[in-house]
A and B are shown apart, each in its own frame.
Chain A
Amino acid sequence: MLCNSRYRLLRIVAKFSTDASNTEFRVLDLRKGSSENANQGRGRFQKRTEGGPQLLPPRETKMPIDQDWPSVWPGPRTFHPASVPLPVRQGYPAKDLAAPPGKYANAELMKIPNFLHLTPAAVQRHCQAIKRFCTPWPSELTNEDACDKYFPVQTTTCDYLHSSPSIRDPLARIVTLQVKLSSLPLEGRARDKFLRLVQERYNPETDMVTIVVDRCPTRKQNLHYSHFLLTVLYHESMKEESWESEKSPLDNELFEWQTSASRAAIDGLAVKQKLDPDYIQLYSEALTNLMNKGEDQETLADYKESALQLLGHSRN
């Protein structure tokens, strides 16, 4: 927008060239209140026209719908309301019932990052440009399970960007290694030992072991250490130490019928009275369920049924 005094000066200059009653020497009169200027320029107490000088309409109103957007917005740029043909609103309204502030003169919209340069069409073009440098997707990796099968170990690292003299961030050294327990060939005692070594790093719902390593200063070192940990865990679990045989029934995570006192009691009872082996089997299942799942109406009811059957009681 041109400021008023400059505009007036231009008009006066223009007047010089077009006035028909020109003599040889024209008097240049730049004073504000002079009569010559008074006709052309605005008077001291005359009103200004609303909205200032006439502006061109914003570009967005003239954008065709099928335009090539990546050409309009080729790279990351601060939000420019007149170039974006969207009725975007951002921020809290000044009054409760009003709409959020519009996009013109909206500092909030300008502060936040926008991804108008990364529309699907733009991304597709990027991909097309890069495609000739890529190899094809492996044909064996048709679904998630196949990916898990061929690439069981997932390594996660995080990169940080700083707009400061240093590009370093100490958190960038952290390495997370994730592997599914089912992909490791561990059974029985070895699996139990592995879980005891790994403790809370194992999530039984997703069957994932997550090891987070950050003890070394560089990412590469942490990565190597995490690989080392996985190897050591596996091999230590597979080894059987002499003191492992000292595990008592109290240490068992789950109730085991075979080694339990209940089984001994039933065996003792079977010596004196006739017990149907099928009923013993059902009873052992009900008892194991009761102990492992916890007591509630259902498990207790099952236990009661099986005990009644086993001991030969029935209601008339």
Chain B
Amino acid sequence: MIGKSVFRALNGRQEFVKRCSKIVIRASSTVPQMSLPLSSENSNPLPFFRSKQNSPSLHGSNNSGQFYTIDPSIKKQLFLYGGIPKTYDDLCKTFKETCMMIREPALEIMDYMKSTNFNNAATRYCLYGKIGTGKSMTMAHLLHYGFENNFVIVHVPWAPYWYKFPKEYSDCPTKEGMVDLPLDAVAWLIHFKNQNSHLLADPKLSVCQDWEWSKREITKKGAPLAEIVEMGINRVKHSTNCIEALLQELKQLSDLKRCKTLVVIDGFNIFFSDKTKIKTAAFEKIPPKRVTITSPFVDITKQDWSNGAVIVSVDDLAFFRKDERNTHYPRGLLGAEGFEHLDPFIPIETKNYSEKEFHYCIEYFLDRRWIINPHAASEEGRKELAFLSNCNPFNLLKVTAPL
């Protein structure tokens, strides 16, 4: 099976992560062993920093700052091939549970989505904010919300991976001057299939037009959408064409109200940058717009379809180190071309922890024994941690790691 190499590439990472988390647990064996009580096992009333609601659709501002637990089966379906940032995923393995903080940006977007008129064009939401403030985590939360509300999910966990660490690239046979990323396309299709397996079985999701892959391979109108996905996974040569067909179909199906689509792309600004690590057969370095996999995802973020939503994030980390633009604002990161493409959109900012969120986070870390040092739990210790990390979620994680 051609998919095997891709599976290994994806699962290899999982293996490495598993081994790392085992080492972490072994290291803590010098500390007096205490079993971490999981929130699900706890029959007592939940502590204040945890939320009873594990369903994102029911989250509201009264849950702001609280941690809610994601069911392992849902996590496996949604985030098996990416979605939760690596560092946080390791943390979840250490804590033996996947908990996420309910924060304001996610609540805001969910509010808008609940009250959207889905007859109108799909709104674009752009998450921006300083590094480590929770853009990817917000997207994970919204993915869960979309999953619960039966959206067809089109999710790109981190777009720059395709351009910075492509698995394999080759000149496109059909389009001149373009370069294909066949294995990455197959990997994405597998990811899509995994996330939407429960919806692909729906008979309403059937193809709206004929798609011809080659002289002998045709997907006829009325065939289930899953057929295009399978075609792409099995025939590596046509994988990018299948992605194009799939996303176009989803746009049409959403317009026809046969499904609703949620597009979630992390690191969207890479699509409008100048550089990649990908080269043509003649060793010429090319920009993302000459890579075939770019255009379907740029196309689906246009506002020419309805009955869905598009959530993208812009991050300075998406660029190569030398090309960093040292800004976290959307216009600066997207550039003129990107901004014109996305305009009009709703910019949503992710910020550092507020006082309440910081307090809840520390309590959670204490509960999970991430922070063992007793001084850290004290009033003064918390002030020190707040100062050292500047209440930045990612920095707080790093600063509390040795404690």
What residues of chain A have their CB less than 8 Å away from a CB belonging to chain B? 260-262, 265-266, 269, 272-273, 283, 287, 290-291, 295-296, 300, 303-304, 307-308, 310-316
Using known A-B contacts A265-B344, A316-B111, determine if residue A311 contacts B119 with beta carbons closer than 8 Å: no
Q: B211: which A residues are within 8 A, CB to CB?
A: none
Residues 109-150 of B, flagged 1 when their CB comes within 8 A of A and 0 if not, give 001101111011101000000000000000000000000000
Q: B329: which A residues are within 8 A, CB to CB?
A: 295-296, 300
Instruction: Report how far A283 CA is from B344 CA in the complex, Å.
Output: 9
Q: B115: which A residues are within 8 A, CB to CB?
A: 313-316
Contact of A262 among B112, B114, B343 (CB under 8 A): B343
Q: Is B121's CB under 8 angstroms from A269's CB?
A: yes
Q: B331: which A residues are within 8 A, CB to CB?
A: 290-291, 295
What residues of chain B have their CB less than 8 Å away from a CB belonging to chain A? 108, 111-112, 114-117, 119-121, 123, 303, 306, 327, 329-332, 340, 343-349
Q: Is A262's CB under 8 angstroms from B347's CB?
A: no
8 contacts between A and B (CB under 8 A): A266-B344, A269-B121, A273-B121, A295-B331, A304-B346, A311-B346, A313-B116, A315-B112
Q: Is A313's CB under 8 angstroms from B303's CB?
A: no
Contact of A295 among B111, B306, B332, B340 (CB under 8 A): B332
Q: How far is the CB of A313 from chain B (nearest CB, A)?
A: 5
Q: Which of A283, A291, A295: most chain B CB closer than 10 A?
A: A295
Q: Is B123's CB under 8 angstroms from A311's CB?
A: yes
Using known A-B contacts A300-B329, A313-B116, determine if residue A307 contacts B344 with beta carbons closer than 8 Å: yes
Q: A310: which B residues are within 8 A, CB to CB?
A: 344
Q: How far is the CB of A139 from chain B (nearest CB, A)?
A: 55
Instruction: Report how far A304 CA is from B114 CA in the complex, Å.
Output: 18
Q: A295-B332, A315-B112 are in contact. List 18 more A-B contacts (CB 8 A).
A: A261-B343, A265-B343, A269-B121, A269-B303, A273-B119, A273-B120, A287-B343, A287-B344, A290-B331, A295-B327, A295-B330, A300-B347, A303-B347, A307-B345, A312-B117, A313-B115, A313-B123, A316-B114
Q: A291: which B residues are within 8 A, CB to CB?
A: 331
Q: How far is the CB of A278 from chain B (nearest CB, A)?
A: 15
Instruction: Report how far A310 CA is from B344 CA in the complex, Å.
Output: 9
Q: How far is the CB of A249 from chain B (nearest CB, A)?
A: 10
Whose C-beta in chain A lies nearest to the C-beta of B123?
A311
Q: How far is the CB of A260 from chain B (nearest CB, A)?
A: 8
Instruction: Report how far A310 CA is from B345 CA in the complex, Å.
Output: 10
Q: How far is the CB of A227 from chain B (nearest CB, A)?
A: 42
Q: B117: which A residues are within 8 A, CB to CB?
A: 312
Q: Which 8 A-B pairs have the closest CB atoms?
A: A295-B329, A261-B340, A273-B120, A313-B112, A262-B343, A315-B111, A307-B344, A295-B331
Q: B344: which A residues are within 8 A, CB to CB?
A: 262, 265-266, 269, 283, 287, 307, 310-311
Instruction: Report how far A272 CA is from B343 CA in the complex, Å.
Output: 16
Using known A-B contacts A272-B121, A295-B331, A313-B123, determine if residue A265 contacts B303 with beta carbons closer than 8 Å: yes
Q: A303: which B residues are within 8 A, CB to CB?
A: 347
Contact of B120 among A265, A300, A312 (CB under 8 A): A312
Q: B343: which A residues are within 8 A, CB to CB?
A: 261-262, 265, 287
Whose C-beta in chain B lies nearest to the C-beta of A287?
B343
Instruction: Report how far A261 CA is from B108 CA in the complex, Å.
Output: 28
Instruction: Report how far A314 CA is from B343 CA in the complex, Å.
Output: 19
Instruction: Report how far A287 CA is from B339 CA in the complex, Å.
Output: 11
Q: A260: which B residues are within 8 A, CB to CB?
A: 340
Q: How far is the CB of B343 from chain A (nearest CB, A)?
A: 5
Q: Which of B327, B345, B346: most chain A CB closer than 10 A?
A: B346
Q: How far is the CB of B107 from chain A (nearest CB, A)?
A: 9
Q: B111: which A residues are within 8 A, CB to CB?
A: 315-316
Q: How far is the CB of A72 from chain B (nearest CB, A)?
A: 68
Q: How far is the CB of A286 from chain B (nearest CB, A)?
A: 10
Q: How far is the CB of A304 from chain B (nearest CB, A)?
A: 5
Q: How far is the CB of B275 from chain A (nearest CB, A)?
A: 21
Q: How far is the CB of B401 from chain A (nearest CB, A)?
A: 31
Q: Is B303's CB under 8 angstroms from A308's CB?
A: no
Q: Is B340's CB under 8 angstroms from A315's CB?
A: no
Instruction: Report how far A265 CA is from B345 CA in the complex, Å.
Output: 11
